[in-house]
Amino acid sequence: MLIQTFRLWCGQILADLGAEVIKIERPQVGDDTRMWGPSWMPDQQGDATRESGYFQCANRNKYSVSVDIASAQGQEIIREIAKTADVVIENYKADSLAKYGLDYASLSALNPNVVYCSITGFGQDGPRALNENFKEIASPIKLSDTPVEYRNAPPQLGEHTQHILSRLKMADELHALKLQGIIDEEVA
């Protein structure tokens, strides 16, 4: 079982491969991509609905639950799910889940075998680590904020599937090693 927050492609791939993926969404709002349109999914009569085609494609094969992580009840729900999860994937700002007791240290205390993957736009430390980020923000920053002395090649803004898949394979290997007892520590 895998817990996923928000719209992460790796969760989609794992769900397609047969993993039980539980997607955590915000109450009353859900994932922003639910409202990304057009294109809208058709209903049984073929009429357009207000269900985003993108959302349906990106979240196929996943379960979805609405949880308020800021509430004690919501935090407890996630902790209960995490006790039996193999993997937790989140994409919050660096260190922002610690205040809710939903960071690696907290969840691994409940489930020592959990693989915790924190995906951030600017990494876990550094000058922008606490900033929010999406690819739509990172690409223009990369263009405009790279020091001139490092601009010796065009920025890489295109398709990055090979990088994503290689990291997914690495995570799979690390998880297998952890399950076999070959490694037992957090791998950064």
DSSP 66-126: E--TTSHHHHHHHHHHHTT-SEEEE-PSTTTTGGGT-SHHHHHHH-TT-EEEE--SS-SSS
Using alpha carbons, list the distances in angstroms from residue 76 to 26, 45, 93. Answer: 15, 41, 21
Q: Is residue 131 helix, strand or coil?
A: coil
Q: pLDDT tens for residues 79-101?
A: 999 999 988 988 888 888 999 99
Return the ∠ at Cα 12 (arms to 56 and 23), rounded to 5°: 75
- Which tops the pLDDT comparison, 170 or 30? 30
| Distance between CA atoms of residues 118 and 98, nearest Å | 12
- Which tops the pLDDT comparison, 140 or 48? 48
- In the CATH scheme, what architecture does the domain 2-119 have? 3-Layer(aba) Sandwich (3.40)
Q: Is residue 25 helix, strand or coil?
A: strand
| Distance between CA atoms of residues 155 and 147, nearest Å | 12
Instruction: Map out the domains of the chain as residue ranges.
Output: 2-119
Burial class (CB within 10 angstroms; exposed 0-12, middle 13-18, buried 19+) of 166: exposed
- Residue whose pair of structure tokens reads 């952890």 in the numeric block: 178
Would you say residue 6 has pLDDT above 60? Answer: no
What DSSP state is assigned to residue 26?
A: -
Would you say residue 18 has pLDDT above 60? Answer: yes
Q: Which amino acid is at 5?
A: T
What pLDDT shows up at residue 139? Answer: 53
pTM for the predicted model, two decimal places? 0.67
- With beta carbons less than 8 A apart as the criterion, state whether 14 and 2 touch: yes
The two three-digit tokens of residue 106, written as one number = 């907290």
Would you say residue 156 has pLDDT above 80? Answer: no
| Distance between CA atoms of residues 177 and 184, nearest Å | 8
| Distance between CA atoms of residues 93 and 24, nearest Å | 16
Would you say residue 104 has pLDDT above 90? Answer: yes
What pLDDT shows up at residue 164? Answer: 67
